[in-house]
């Protein structure tokens, strides 16, 4: 039988959903392969900025939401203002598995209340 291939080319291709193809005939798999290859060229980069401070409960929800987005051309940047290492330790498995995830820990400044964390997150986004 025939094999389906997506060749590399410089011109953007059209993504078309005519309703005739479906998961059973492989459409979703080929769509995923195509988007993984070309989404960085077709779609602009979106930065997801996540501030963190001493707690991981809601951080897990935020990270899971970010990594499960269907939009593929994203970077996830986590800025940590914590006074302990809980956030960093929690993030280690994510940092090992997601190359589009970046973590940085801010230097503590008295009476800053997270203002520099927001500024640092913004500066690090593409």
For the stretch 29-80, pLDDT in tens is 777 788 878 877 888 889 999 999 888 989 999 999 999 998 888 999 999 8
pLDDT value, residue 38: 81
- Between 5 and 46, the more confident residue is 46
Looking at the predicted structure, is the pLDDT value of residue 85 above 80?
Answer: yes
- Between 83 and 99, the more confident residue is 99
Q: Domains of the chain (ranges plus CATH)?
A: 1-42 (no CATH), 46-124 (3.90.550.10)
Looking at the predicted structure, is the pLDDT value of residue 1 above 60?
Answer: no
Residues 114-118 have a mean pLDDT of 63
Question: What DSSP line would sit under 104-115, residue for residue?
Answer: EEPPP-TT-TTH
Looking at the predicted structure, is the pLDDT value of residue 114 above 60?
Answer: no
For residues 117 and 65, give the distance between their C-alpha atoms in angstroms, rounded to a whole number.
21
CB atoms within 10 A of CB 78: 26
Secondary structure tally for the chain: helices H, strands E: 4, 3
């Amino acid at each position: 039988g025939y094999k389906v291939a997506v060749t590399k080319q410089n011109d953007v291709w059209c993504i078309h959903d005519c309703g005739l193809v479906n998961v059973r005939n492989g459409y979703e798999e080929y769509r995923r392969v195509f988007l993984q290859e070309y989404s960085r060229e077709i779609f602009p980069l979106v930065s997801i900025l996540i501030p963190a401070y001493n707690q991981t409960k809601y951080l897990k929800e935020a990270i899971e939401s970010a990594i499960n987005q269907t939009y593929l051309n994203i970077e996830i940047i986590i800025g940590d203002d914590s006074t302990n290492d809980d956030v960093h330790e929690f993030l280690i498995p994510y940092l090992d598995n997601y190359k589009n995830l970046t973590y940085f820990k801010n230097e503590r400044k008295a009476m800053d209340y997270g203002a520099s964390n927001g500024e640092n997150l913004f500066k690090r986004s593409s």
